[in-house]
């Protein structure tokens, strides 16, 4: 009993000391606070490694499934089809992973930690920028896994290593900008379920009704015209170009235009909602 | 604008659709005190706090924290306040120390200092042993403490605590109370909301009773109690067949209504003047009505609340179940 009392009083003294120190350090720079949020995301991966399934197992399943499912039917042989499919399926997989950014944010809001971040005297976007930086690492990881597996299965990029790096670079730029769509939705939707549903509703048509699996010229005219302006198709064009060593300046430009549009609309919208979330 | 005040609001309003969640709240809360918001669920306590903590924009009226406008000077306000919300505002997947280091870093501490500050706080809050455990494995009391610790990484001038002890066992609740008292003795102003009248009574220097978005009473706990009279007389009769006679005598002597309950032997009455009680009890004895037990209590805040709102509080409702 007396032991316990001693412990309590010791705590009280420490408590008083801890509270008495009223030093307020200088506010962190935007870079420093963003990096703190990045390290939070890395710690979360360390503690909940299952969340890496989407960038490890998911891409492997996708690549194997679609190569062997459609290869014979569409291109006559899987080896032939892989050459066409890999850049597209890479885009599709990484684009689909981007939606988890919104889900993480949505969880933060419902759990209350979001309120704490918003009352801190920090550069407001750093919570999102920090998380997106780690997402870039995750996307790169997913890309590396898919390209490696593709190589094992017989994929041979004519663009060489430079072409592959250029292709991944295109994907990262595009996905960084696309992510702001999900952060916007993550702030609007009230539950994780409804957010998932809306995200899938956007992503499924966008990734499937594109040039990922088939040559758009085989499609009926009205569908072809949609596929041609689908931002995913634009990205796939550039990524294929880089990997096959025949990329055009125009294809690259379109990726930048599509990415720019996503970013210019959804990044400010996200920040507006972030600041004014009820 | 008074700079001696921690919080000053005039006609603060927040509406959600047609519902006026906060409906014209005026507050003048001095520095260095504990101020309690007391009210049932949905009274507008949390909404008021969220506005004051710059998380929600008011739809009407204005508010200043230490003289800074919560809308136009939100950044300055954020430098001096901290919020511990109703739900644990920490990352449950991270460990205790990782959480505190993260907040310390966001407050501007360098890596080493952040680690030192986190360690210091964990020790002060009795969480050393749990430092390397994920917060999701913490008990309710530990979770509350780490949450408050995260709020005082840089000791704020004003701390908002939204229902800090809801769902805690008595020991954890006392720990939270100790933390609040220590904070106030070090000069922090604390604004806390609670549904527990005992908590407001124990901790708060002044209390605002909130119901349906409005402040319906304000004052110290004794002022609020005084507004409903001296207290409640409870009488337990030795023989319940004396009940009717006892009621007649008591209501005549005390000049008030006598309340009965399902227990036929017990009677109670709100008493305005304590000296009448002795007379009334004497009268019972003279009429040979035996009293097995009686008590005159200071009115509880439960009674204050009931008198003010005509509503039962949650603790009373729970007590009945």
Structure-token match 């996905």, residue found: A175
Q: What value does the mean pLDDT of chain A take?
A: 89
pLDDT of residue B114: 95
Q: How far apart are CA A140 and CA A57, in angstroms?
A: 14
Q: What is the tens place of the pLDDT at every residue in B208-260? A: 999 889 998 899 888 887 776 667 788 888 888 888 888 888 888 888 888 88
pTM beyond 0.90? no
Could you tell me the CATH number of the domain that includes residue B265? Answer: 3.30.70.100
Q: Residue B46: CB partners within 8 Å, gap ≥ 6?
A: B86, B162, B163, B193
Residue A125 vs residues A37, A121, A268, B38: alpha-carbon distances, Å:
10, 12, 10, 35
Per-residue model confidence as pLDDT tens for chain A (278 residues): 333 433 444 477 888 888 887 778 888 999 999 999 999 999 999 999 998 888 889 889 988 988 888 877 777 778 888 988 999 999 999 999 999 999 999 998 888 888 889 888 899 899 999 999 999 999 999 999 999 999 999 999 999 999 999 999 999 999 999 999 999 999 999 899 999 999 999 999 999 999 988 888 888 889 999 999 999 999 999 999 999 999 999 999 999 999 999 999 999 999 999 888 76
CA distances from B12 to A55, B21, B45, B61, B64 (A): 48, 10, 12, 4, 11
Is B206 a domain residue? yes
Residues 6+ positions from B295 with CB-CB distance below 8 Å: B233, B234
Alpha-carbon distances of A216 from A7, A104, A213, A222, A225, rounded to whole Å: 74, 35, 9, 11, 9
Judge whether B53 is closer than 8 Å to chain A, CB to CB: yes
Among residues B225, B243, B268, which one ends one of the domains? B225
Determine, yes or no, domain membership for B120.
no
Spell out the residues 6+ positions from residue B105 whose beta carbon is closer than 8 angstroms to its own: A28, A32, A33, A36, B111, B114
Say how many domains are in chain B.
Answer: 2
> What domain range is B194 assigned to?
5-93+134-225
CA distance B232 to B1: 42
B88 shares a domain with B237: no
A18·B87 Cβ contact <8 A: no
A44 to chain B: which residues are within 8 Å by CB?
A: 91, 93-94
Answer yes or no: do B58 and B155 share one domain.
Answer: yes
ipTM (interface predicted TM): 0.85
Which residue of B79, B121, B134 is in closest CB contact with A18?
A: B121
| Smallest CA–CA distance from A109 into chain B, residue | B89
Domain assignments of chain A as residue spans, ordered by start: 30-276
Query: Chain B residues with CB inside 8 Å of A27's CB?
Result: 108
Same-domain check for residues B153 and B283 = no
Interface residue A22 vs chain B (CB under 8 A)? yes
Contact A25 B89 (CB under 8 A): no
Whether residue B268 sits in one domain with residue B211: no
């Amino acid at each position: 009993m007396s032991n316990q009392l001693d412990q309590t009083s010791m705590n009280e003294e420490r408590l008083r000391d801890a509270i008495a120190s009223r030093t307020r350090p200088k506010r962190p720079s935007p870079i420093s606070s963003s990096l703190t949020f990045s390290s939070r995301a890395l710690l979360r991966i360390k503690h909940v490694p299952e969340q890496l399934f989407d960038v490890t197992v998911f891409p492997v399943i996708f690549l194997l499934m679609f190569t062997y499912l459609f290869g014979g039917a569409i291109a006559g042989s899987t080896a032939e089809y892989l050459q066409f499919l890999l850049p597209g399926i890479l885009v599709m997989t990484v684009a689909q992973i981007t939606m988890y950014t919104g889900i993480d944010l949505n969880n933060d809001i419902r759990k209350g930690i979001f309120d704490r971040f918003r009352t801190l005297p920090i550069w407001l976007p750093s919570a999102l920028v920090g998380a997106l930086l780690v997402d870039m690492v995750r996307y790169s990881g997913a890309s590396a896994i898919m390209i490696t597996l593709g190589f094992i299965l017989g994929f041979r990029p004519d663009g060489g290593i430079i072409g592959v790096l250029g292709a991944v670079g295109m994907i990262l730029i595009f996905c960084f900008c696309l992510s702001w769509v999900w952060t916007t939705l993550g702030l609007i939707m009230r539950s994780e379920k409804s957010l998932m549903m809306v995200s899938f509703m956007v992503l499924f048509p966008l990734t499937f009704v594109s040039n990922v699996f088939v040559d758009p010229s085989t499609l009926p005219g009205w569908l072809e015209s949609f596929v041609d302006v689908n931002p995913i198709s634009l990205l796939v064009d550039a990524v294929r170009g880089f990997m096959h060593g025949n990329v055009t300046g125009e294809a690259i430009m379109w990726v930048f235009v599509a990415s720019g549009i996503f970013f210019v609309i959804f990044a400010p919208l996200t920040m507006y909602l972030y600041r004014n979330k009820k | 604008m008074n700079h001696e005040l921690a919080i000053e609001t005039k006609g603060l309003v927040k509406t959600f659709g047609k519902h006026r969640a906060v409906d014209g709240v005026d507050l003048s809360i001095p520095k260095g005190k504990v101020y309690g918001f007391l009210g049932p669920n949905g009274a507008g306590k949390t909404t008021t706090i969220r506005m004051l903590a710059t998380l929600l924009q008011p739809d009407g009226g204005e508010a200043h924290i230490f003289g800074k406008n919560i809308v136009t000077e939100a950044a300055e306000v954020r430098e001096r306040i901290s919020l511990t919300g109703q739900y644990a505002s920490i990352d449950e997947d991270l460990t205790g120390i990782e959480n505190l280091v993260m907040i310390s870093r966001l407050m501007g501490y360098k890596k080493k200092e952040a680690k030192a500050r986190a360690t210091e706080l964990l020790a002060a809050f009795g969480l050393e042993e749990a430092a390397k455990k994920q917060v999701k494995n913490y008990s309710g009391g530990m979770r509350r403490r780490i949450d408050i610790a995260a709020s005082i990484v840089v000791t704020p001038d004003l701390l908002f605590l939204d229902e800090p002890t809801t769902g805690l066992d008595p020991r954890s609740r006392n720990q939270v109370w100790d933390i609040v008292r220590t904070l106030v003795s070090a000069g922090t102003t604390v604004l806390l909301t609670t549904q527990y009248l005992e908590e407001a009574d124990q901790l708060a220097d002044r209390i605002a009773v909130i119901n349906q978005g409005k402040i319906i009473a304000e004052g110290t706990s004794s002022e609020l109690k005084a507004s409903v009279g001296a207290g409640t007389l409870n009488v337990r009769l030795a023989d319940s067949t004396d009940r009717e006679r006892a009621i007649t005598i008591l209501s005549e002597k005390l000049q008030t209504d006598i309340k009965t309950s399902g227990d036929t032997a017990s009677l109670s009455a709100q008493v305005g003047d304590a000296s009448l009680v002795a007379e009334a009890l004497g009268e019972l004895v003279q009429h040979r009505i035996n009293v097995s037990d009686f008590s005159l209590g200071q009115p509880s805040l439960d009674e204050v609340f009931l008198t003010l709102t005509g509503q039962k509080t949650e603790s009373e409702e729970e007590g009945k179940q």
